[in-house]
């Protein structure tokens, strides 16, 4: 699941990618080779935009050793999450390959409630995600919105005596309440 966020809120509905399998040689390897296009132009992204990725996994039923193939499947469990700013401190858009180390999710272990079927990862296990951003020959710089011209200050007019008395009466009432 991936999304773009700003100020803790999604800029649009998070994108869920296709499901992929894993294989193991020396370590588990997941080839998640999918191009994700976000429905927002780079030119309208806020400077503080954050790419948030969450990796979910479902335990393979055949791996559990159960001969019952009709056994109900478990819900996907969050394996980890990572987030990174799209623009760096120089206001340059991310490009090229990035290796992102996912933070192990404690939420998945908490929802399992200590059941015997939940597998806790060892602290030495790491999930590293390689994200390939489009590579452009030039830096894509963030350019903020143009500042709107401020209106000319208008000359202040004096209040009439009637309005002045009404305003003083309102202010004296407010001061009775301790404001």
- Contact (Cβ atoms closer than 8 angstroms) between residue 173 and residue 165: no
Q: According to the model, what pLDDT value does residue 43 have?
A: 87
Q: According to the model, what pLDDT value does residue 147 have?
A: 83
Q: How confident is the model at residue 7 (pLDDT cuts 50, 70, 90)?
A: very high
Q: According to the model, what pLDDT value does residue 108 have?
A: 43
Q: For residues 81 and 91, what is the distance between their CA atoms, to the nearest angstrom?
A: 24
User: pLDDT tens digit string along 44-83?
Assistant: 899 999 999 988 877 665 554 555 545 556 777 788 899 9
Q: According to the model, what pLDDT value does residue 88 have?
A: 95
Q: For residues 119 and 108, what is the distance between their CA atoms, to the nearest angstrom?
A: 10
- Of residues 129 and 91, the one with the higher pLDDT is 91
**Of the options 2.60.40.150, 3.30.300.130, 3.40.50.2030, 2.30.30.100, the CATH number for the domain spanning 2-133:** 2.60.40.150
User: pLDDT tens digit string along 103-138?
Assistant: 885 544 444 444 444 455 555 567 888 889 988 889
Q: Which residues contact 96 (CB under 8 A, 6 or more apart)?
A: 132, 133, 135
Q: What string of DSSP letters covers 106-164?
A: HHHHHHHTT-TT--PPPTT---EEEEEE---SS--B--PPPPPPPPPPPPPPPPPHHHH
Q: According to the model, what pLDDT value does residue 154 have?
A: 77
pTM beyond 0.85: the answer is no
- Look at residue 174 and tell me whether its pLDDT is greater than 80: no
- Look at residue 22 and tell me whether its pLDDT is greater than 60: yes
């Amino acid at each position: 699941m991936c999304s773009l966020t700003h100020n803790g809120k999604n800029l649009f509905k998070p994108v869920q990618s296709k499901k992929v399998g894993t294989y193991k040689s020396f370590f588990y390897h997941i080839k998640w080779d999918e191009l994700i296009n976000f429905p927002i132009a780079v030119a309208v992204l806020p400077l503080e935009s954050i790419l948030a990725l969450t990796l979910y996994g479902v335990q393979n039923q055949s791996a559990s050793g159960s001969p019952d193939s009709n056994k109900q499947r478990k819900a996907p469990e969050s394996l980890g999450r990572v987030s990174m700013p799209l623009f760096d401190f120089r206001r340059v858009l991310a490009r090229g390959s990035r290796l992102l180390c996912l933070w192990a999710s404690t939420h998945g272990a908490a929802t399992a409630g200590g059941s015997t079927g939940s597998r806790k990862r060892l602290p030495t296990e790491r999930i590293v995600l390689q994200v390939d951003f489009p590579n452009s020959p030039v830096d894509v710089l963030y350019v903020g919105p143009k500042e709107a011209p401020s209106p000319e200050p208008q000359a202040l007019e004096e209040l009439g005596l009637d309005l002045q008395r009404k305003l003083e009466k309102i202010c004296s009432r407010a001061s009775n309440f301790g404001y």
